[in-house]
Each structure stands twice: as C-alpha cells, then as structure tokens.
C-alpha cells in the first residue's frame, strides 16, 4: 500500500490542495450569507427561500464533498511513507486544527438547519465573529505545514 501511495504522492497532494481550497471558499462564504440573511432578508418571504436554497446548495453540493475529499486525500498523505514525522509538533497541531475546522463546518450546518426551520436566534455580528474562526485555523494549518516545527 505504501508503494502505491508513494507513486501517487503528487496527484494525492494536488487533489488535497484543490479540495482544501474548495472547502475553505465555502467555509468563508456561508457565514457571510448568514450575515446577509439575518441583517437584510429576514424570514418568511421569497428572498428568505432564495437564501435558504443558496445556503443549502453551498453546504451540500460544495462544502460537504470538499470536506470529505480533503479528509480522504489528507489521510492518504498521512499514510504515505516518509511524509509525516509524528515526533514533531506540526502534524498534531495541523490535525487538531483540521478537527476544529470540521467542528466549525458542522456548526455551520446546524445553523443552516435553524434558518430552514425559522428558528435562527443569532445576530449578524455573531456570524461575523464566528467567521474569524476558520481564518485562525487556516493560519495555524498553513504555518505548521510550511515551517514543520
């Protein structure tokens, strides 16, 4: 198995990066949609339904597949011989940050369901603040992988 992963390393790494880019695009955009939904649209009207459709499709058609493929290709990279030195801090820091990013993704999914049920209680300011979480996690992930401390 290790030989196959080594042979396909560059393809796997490329697909991982593409998946991460798609996931991060969605993870940055969905909270921004929630801000506009709360502050500009309200609930129970035609525009509310349009926003719910956009939010659902972004989550289901882009973010979920991108998150899953990020995890699959990332785990393949972890399993590739010679790529990760587990005695260092960086793989643990990256792994913890990816788990936190996944939690944030799930948190966004729960908020989308609240919008669909008409039970959202969070203000636009809260969504703006929460939108900083993936930025911080992304910085931790990128710097840990590049500097490998």
Question: Cα separation of 103 and 76, whole Å?
Answer: 21
Q: What is the pLDDT of residue 44?
A: 86
DSSP class of residue 145 equals H
Number of helices (H), then strands (E), belonging to the chain: the values are 7, 0
pLDDT of residue 43 exceeding 90, the answer is: no
Provide DSSP, 21-76: HHHHHHHHHHHHHHHHIIIII-SSSHHHHHHHHHHHHIIIIIIHHHHHHHHHHHHH
> pLDDT (tens digit, 9 = 90+) per residue, 66-82?
999 999 999 999 999 99
Q: Which domain holds residue 138?
A: 2-147
Number of structural domains in the chain: 1
Q: Does this model's pTM top 0.85?
A: yes
């Amino acid at each position: 198995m290790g030989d196959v992963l080594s042979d396909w390393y560059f393809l796997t790494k490329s697909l991982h990066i593409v998946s991460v880019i798609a996931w991060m695009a969605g993870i940055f955009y969905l909270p921004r949609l929630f801000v506009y939904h709360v502050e500009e649209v309200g609930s129970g009207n035609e525009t509310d339904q349009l926003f719910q459709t956009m939010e659902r499709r972004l989550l289901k058609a882009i973010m979920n597949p991108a998150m899953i493929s990020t995890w699959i290709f990332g785990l393949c990279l972890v399993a590739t011989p010679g790529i990760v030195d587990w005695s260092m801090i960086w793989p643990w820091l990256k792994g913890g940050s990816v788990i936190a990013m996944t939690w944030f993704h799930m948190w966004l999914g729960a908020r989308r369901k609240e919008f669909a049920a008409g039970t959202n209680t969070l203000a636009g300011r809260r969504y703006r603040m929460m939108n900083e979480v993936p930025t911080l996690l992304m910085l931790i992930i990128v710097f840990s992988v590049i500097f490998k401390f």
